[in-house]
Amino acid sequence: MTGRSGSKSGWAAIVLPAILSVLPVGAHEVRPALLEISESPDHGFAVQWKQPRRGEAAIRLVPHLSNGWLETAPTETDANPAYAIKVWNDLRTGASGLEGQTVTIEGLEQTMTDVLIGITLADGRKLNEVLRPKSPSLRIDFRERHGLPVSAYLTLGIGHILTGIDHLLFVFGLLLLVGSRWRLLQTVTAFTVAHSLTLAGTALGLIHVKSAVVETLVALSIVFLALELIHLRRGRAGLAVRFPWLIAFSFGLLHGMAFAGALAEVGLPSNDIPLSLLLFNVGVEAGQLIFVAGILAIAWAIRRIPPALPGWTGWIAPYGIGSFAAFWFIQRFSILIH
């Protein structure tokens, strides 16, 4: 993959436009909504509803509880670029509590997203479920065992990495730098270990870095990688070529903080933080492996289609990756300084 001829590296000129054209499609629909209900020791309830936004508009999802709580005006409302947020505080229920009540998400059947449900009672009982377009309602029953919805957090991790074009372009650049399978294994492992560390540290509140700073540095890491690819095409092996695992680990620390930012937008369920974090990270790794396997399969197929691509096509991927990354860096840096 690191050769200078078009037949060895020109395949990337075909793959790159496909990545850029396909990945942005449906990216925001992957993010789930979140409904959390928690009971305080004095038996008051708080409800938080977070639903995905696309631009200025939120995906049309309306939560309902059969006891009528959510038909009243929320105590607080907020919004960020990814989510619209509503909070109801100090809600009271009868002697039966929430047992037997029904949660319904109006409009869910017209979407491609899921809704994570987390309920925690003052006596320690928990309920975790996921509602999908085919099943938009849930009857609350604490007599049944409701574990953390494994598939929901796995899907969230997979969806985030497979729709995160900046992260995937970084991985794509690493693939172009690494020649042997052993070096590829070292590089991917280093990237995995690094972003797992900072993902956990940031999500658990042990590391505090502004998301705008992280996203700007992520873009800069891709610019650096593109420059290393250009140097390689010119016959000069830079630091990233000689020690790809070191570069992957160093910049993986940044990318892990960015992954944590995406997870923070949804919110870790307060009653199962370690497990949900683990599942999200496993999903990220699964999505990354799917992407790497797909790229390697496409590269293998393209190399066997005659005739060989001309040598100049080998320049398209490095300059293409660098151009997009430079644009993202300028865009994010301008937001950061304003």
pLDDT tens-place string over residues 13-37 = 666 766 665 554 333 345 678 899 9
Give domain status of residue 154, yes or no: no
As a whole number, the mean pLDDT across the chain is: 79
Say yes or no: 88 and 45 in one domain: yes
Say yes or no: 61 and 134 in one domain: yes
- The rounded distance, in Å, linking the Cα atoms of 147 and 74 is 28
Say yes or no: 168 and 44 in one domain: no
Say yes or no: 135 and 284 in one domain: no
pLDDT computed for residue 262 by the predictor: 64
Say yes or no: 48 and 185 in one domain: no
pLDDT computed for residue 51 by the predictor: 85
Q: What's the pLDDT band for 105 if we cut at 50, 70, 90?
A: very high
The boundaries of the domain holding residue 308 are 6-23+164-337
Say yes or no: 229 and 332 in one domain: yes
Say yes or no: 330 and 225 in one domain: yes
Number of structural domains, the chain? 2
Give domain status of residue 265, yes or no: yes
Of 139-148, 207-216, 320-329, the range with the lowest mean pLDDT is 139-148
- The rounded distance, in Å, linking the Cα atoms of 219 and 282 is 24
Per the listing, tokens 């974090």 go with 277
The residue among 94, 115, 148 that closes a domain is 148
The answer, yes or no, to whether the previous bond of 310 is cis (omega within 30 of 0) is no
